[in-house]
Amino acid sequence: MKPSEQLDAIDRRIVRELQRDASLSHAALGEKVGASAASVWRRVRALEALGVLGKTVRLADPRFLDRSVNVLCQVRMSRQTVAARTEFEEFIQSREEIVECYSMSGEWDYLLRIAVRDVEDYDHFVMRGVLAHPSVANAASNFALRQVKYTTEIPV
């Protein structure tokens, strides 16, 4: 049975509400989903144990942290070995500017979302970081002009 098949209607409402506001108390969450605070507490723990719910975080506004420039960078590897990919992915994990990374199918091997201060900051990062990495053959960058939609909510 798939994990999604283990969720009943209340579990799904809990997940939906917590994606919108993880600071809700169990009592407030219970009111929203039609369950008692104790039941919500047990269900949240079970959803965490299943891996449906991950860690609780607060989302920061990048404009207030001087990281409002989003760059989507496609990376092509020069070598496709397990060792080269592992080394590159370790590099990815070590760089705070890289806020998302996806291993891709198709023409490019990786897609990175990079949050930087400005074009100069990105130039420094890509030239001395990404393109200097021994496993990288080349990269192509696209600067986001504005954010049309952004959500962390997964449809439930």
Question: Distance between CA atoms of 119 and 153, rounded to whole angstroms?
Answer: 30
Mean pLDDT of the chain: 96
Using CA atoms, how far apart are residues 124 and 102, in angstroms rounded to an integer?
A: 22
Output the pLDDT for position 145.
96
Say whether pLDDT at 156 is over 70: yes
Residue 45 near residue 52, CB atoms below 8 Å: no
pTM of the model: 0.88
DSSP class of residue 52 equals S
The count of other CB atoms within 10 Å of the CB of residue 73 is 22
Helix 26-33 × helix 9-20 angle, to 10°: 130
How many angstroms separate the Cα of 101 from the Cα of each of 1, 7, 17, 119?
29, 29, 27, 20
Q: Confidence band (pLDDT; 50, 70, 90) for 1?
A: low
Which tens digit of pLDDT belongs to each residue from 90-146?
Answer: 999 999 999 999 999 999 999 999 999 999 999 999 999 999 999 999 999 999 999
Which class for 113: exposed (0-12), middle (13-18), buried (19 or more C-beta within 10 A)?
A: middle
Mean pLDDT of 81-96: 97
Q: What's the pLDDT at 96? A: 96
* Residue at token pair 């021994």: 134
What is the rounded average pLDDT of the residues 26-47?
97
Report all structural domains of the chain as residue ranges with CATH numbers, in order of start: 3-50 (1.10.10.10), 62-143 (3.30.70.920)
* 73, containing H or E segment: strand 69-77
Eight-state DSSP code of residue 109: S
Residue spans of alpha helices (H) in the chain: 9-20, 26-33, 37-50, 82-94, 119-125
pLDDT attached to residue 71: 98
